[in-house]
Structure 1
Amino acid sequence: MTSEQKALVLATVPVLRENGVLLTKHFYNRMFTHHPELKNLFNMGNQKNDRQQTALALAVLAYAENIANPGVLMPVIDRIGHKHTSLDIRPEHYSIVGKHLLASIQEVLGDAATPAIIDAWTVAYNQLAQIMMGHEAGIYAQQTERTHGWTGWRPFLVKKKVAESAEITSFYLYPADGGKVAPHLPGQFISLRIFLPQLKLKQARQYSISSAPNNEYYRISVKKEKGVELHTDGLISNHLHEFVNEADQVDLTAPAGNFTLTEEMNAPVVLISGGVGLTPLMSMLHSLIEQNHAHPITWLHGCRNESVHAFKDQLTAIVADNPQVKQRVFYNQLSGQEKEAGILEGHLDINKVPELDLEADAHYFICGPTAFIQKQYKDLVAAGVNKQRIYFEEFGPQVLALN
């Protein structure tokens, strides 16, 4: 890009800040009108609640703000790239998106979208597309280079369906072809795709893998959401609970995601989860124990009550068998017996755990609802924890930018 084109893109930042979601809503409506088949690729639940539009608006704004040095966005590009490969996004999709995004900029900005601005954004988009396609090609290559790895959608069978709590059920997924699977990195997710009769569409959702890495199967642990209307979240999750049974088939893509144990884990680990956010941390905990992690492991978990506390008995057994593992649990509602058992009342609050040692060299992994992540992150930073040692996973479109 020329310096003049970069300046023109940067000049659109105030408009994107004010009208970014308006632009992305227009874009998605336009693209789905011309390419209704792409509804099978996008999460239509997040289209209903505007989370996808907001996430895209934030991404476009961040790119415009950093147009002079897009390399600073590599952590974001990596996260988006993992999500794209999990949905089997390919280079041809970038051409479609680019055509309708540029047309939407022109239609939403009207007379303000001069030919020079459209030319600048055309160059900018093509530059971003090349960066994204190149990065995603690398992720696809890594997936195929793994032992038993693959790319694209692969049929799996549900071999076991196990209730873990009143709301969360685990699904043990084995390749339908009888083959092996690539061991995931603890914390990664898989995309699961099924046909939804009420939408007359195939829909895919990402679910964290809750099992330890192995060559045989993946386990996902899914929360049943409240509400049955099409505009509510949880269309796929509820369908899995109600209609998918043992021996049924689903499609999966290979494990993806960068919310994982770091390569060098020679330090204490603190796992902080809210509700179903414990699923990727279960995989991390199992892996750390299997690796005979030599440092303390602390798990802090919060949920409404005992009935919705998934893996409660498993975690109790793990703590009993592994002296280096400590656990503190918060329930919103407590019985007298639970108070005697040492369970804390209220929402998870690290400041209410007096024995908690927030060591400077520890690694902190947070997963749960958006507000939960924000609170835990803020409290850790206030307690003096280095931001670079805090990692978090936000379910759904990424809208948090805390680091």
Structure 2
Amino acid sequence: MPTPLDEKTRSIILATVPALKAHGLAITEEMYKRLLARPEIRDLFNQSHQRDLEQPKALALAVLAYAQHINDLGRLGGMVERIAEKHVGLNILPEHYPFVADALLGAIGHVLGSAATPEIVEAWGKAYWFLADVLIGREKQIYDEHEQAPGGWKGWRAFTVRARHQETPEIVSFELVPADGGRLFRHKAGQYLSFKLDIPDHGSQRRNYSISSAPGADHYRITVRRHELGLVSPWLHESVRVGDTLLAANPAGDFFLDETASSPVVFLTAGVGLTPIVSMLGALCGAKAGRAIRYVHGADSRELAAFVPEITALAADNALKADFFYAKDKALDEVVGAGVTRHAGRVSTEWLREVADPAATYYICGPESFMQDMIGTLHDAGLPAAQIRYEIFGSASNPDLVL
């Protein structure tokens, strides 16, 4: 374990909280500007998250949280685990950390000017390397676990596209099998694959996509929504065909199904946020766990909702109950089949408040505003944090979700 930070360092870090609140985003923007100027580092990042400032905003919140809780770092355990899993997915290695240290400390000095005294810069250097050592240690554990597990690997592994399925006009699924014909690592239901993709005229790109297939299948399936203003998703939709090869890292992520529990499960999803949940459904229903399952999904219309036939079939087998909400449909609420109810409009906080099950564990994934509404409603209903689990697609810009 890294040596704990001394009291003087912690007091200096705590004293910088007002400056981070005022200038945190400017610091992280400058930090990324410096990092992205380094060719050996640039390709590790999702460039689209730089253009919309999503990643700098998320990092600014994380740095602020670190400073605010410097005397009680146990509060940040979930955040640290999420970062470590993300780093493993992207194949971040110990040799990358000095680049980040130089960029962060340089950015603090650049933005704060004379206010960044040598004492403050030294304290943040110590604080950075303390956290870096924690992350490096945890990441090594995960790398080693992956490499030693049946079918596991380290670094990038080639996968062949075995099949592709047009789920909706906007969503395509790709079935991937190891190009070397070897075993497949059994992922945890809810985890994602990270990809190193070579996009013509745009170079190397990194992206994460949730695995939508159940653990134990002979393939991984990713399900990708096309974002018209995006770079990678249109390329996947238009250019990737059966027989093509993609490079992927070992499955990663701290959002996964607790298969040892026996409590009721409620899945709350919207849009393409259903992808990790579909994997969880496959795990639960395949194991015939006997747990009460409720699946709630929101989409703009029936045409744009993926996996409806599969969910409907599970409901017909009494494996679950399902509620489909269609924001642009005008039909009244109605039961449309065994265990399936169709609703007009979006999944509302009022509806959730009425049906909230205090004994259930909730798994939530979708747009950030949707998750904030659902999580806030469940908190207000008295559910403890341990029963509310969620996945953030991209980088969270809400402090509560970051923590």
Task: State whether TM-score is above 0.5.
Answer: yes
**Could you report, residue by residue, the CA deviation over 1:29-55 in whole angstroms, capped at 9, with x for unpaired residues?**
12222x123221100000100001011
Instruction: Quote the offset at 1:351 in angstroms.
Output: 3.4
The alignment status of 1:14 with 2:18, answered yes or no, reads yes
**Could you report, residue by residue, the CA deviation over 1:106-137 in whole angstroms, capped at 9, with x for unpaired residues?**
12111111111111111111111111101111
The alignment status of 1:123 with 2:136, answered yes or no, reads no
1:332 to 327, 334, 347: 327
Instruction: Quote the offset at 1:183 in angstroms.
Output: 0.8
* 1:2-401 equivalences in 2 (<5 Å): 2-33=6-37, 35-199=38-202, 201-214=203-216, 216-227=218-229, 234-321=230-317, 323-334=318-329, 336=331, 341=336, 342-349=341-348, 351-352=350-351, 356=355, 358-400=356-398, 401=400
Structure-2 separation of matches of 1:324 and 1:355: 23
**Could you report, residue by residue, the CA deviation over 1:54-88 in whole angstroms, capped at 9, with x for unpaired residues?**
11111111111122232321111000000000000
**Could you report, residue by residue, the CA deviation over 1:166-198 in whole angstroms, capped at 9, with x for unpaired residues?**
111100011111112101100000112211223
Instruction: Quote the offset at 1:324 in angstroms.
Output: 4.1
The 3-state SS of whatever aligns with 1:160 is: strand
Structure-1 separation of matches of 2:157 and 2:250: 8
Given residue 351 of structure 1, which amino acid in structure 2 is its aligned partner?
E
Instruction: Quote the offset at 1:105 in angstroms.
Output: 1.0
Instruction: Quote the offset at 1:5 in angstroms.
Output: 1.8
Gaps of 5+ in 1: 228-233
- Kept in 1, the 8 Å contact 2:259–2:284? The answer is no
Structure-1 separation of matches of 2:185 and 2:333: 40
Identity %: 39
Structure-1 separation of matches of 2:252 and 2:184: 13
The 3-state SS of whatever aligns with 1:164 is: strand
Given residue 291 of structure 2, which amino acid in structure 1 is its aligned partner?
H
**Could you report, residue by residue, the CA deviation over 1:16-35 in whole angstroms, capped at 9, with x for unpaired residues?**
111111001111112222x1
The 3-state SS of whatever aligns with 1:206 is: strand
Q: What TM-score do you get using the length of structure 1 for normalisation?
A: 0.93
Structure-2 separation of matches of 1:57 and 1:354: 33
Number of equivalent positions? 393
**Could you report, residue by residue, the CA deviation over 1:171-230 in whole angstroms, capped at 9, with x for unpaired residues?**
00111111121011000001122112232x210111110001125210000001123xxx
Structure-2 separation of matches of 1:383 and 1:91: 43
Structure-1 separation of matches of 2:17 and 2:333: 53
- Label 1:69 to 1:378 Cα distance change in 2 as closer, same or farther (>3 A): closer
Instruction: Quote the offset at 1:354 in angstroms.
Output: 9.3
Q: What TM-score do you get using the length of structure 2 for normalisation?
A: 0.93
Instruction: Quote the offset at 1:257 in angstroms.
Output: 0.5
Structure-2 separation of matches of 1:11 and 1:327: 50
Given residue 252 of structure 2, which amino acid in structure 1 is its aligned partner?
A
- Kept in 2, the 8 Å contact 1:180–1:215? The answer is no
Given residue 33 of structure 2, which amino acid in structure 1 is its aligned partner?
N
Structure-2 separation of matches of 1:186 and 1:147: 17
Aligned-residue Cα RMSD (Å) equals 1.8
**Could you report, residue by residue, the CA deviation over 1:122-165 in whole angstroms, capped at 9, with x for unpaired residues?**
11111111111011111111211221111111111111010111
- Label 1:269 to 1:121 Cα distance change in 2 as closer, same or farther (>3 A): same
The 3-state SS of whatever aligns with 2:12 is: helix
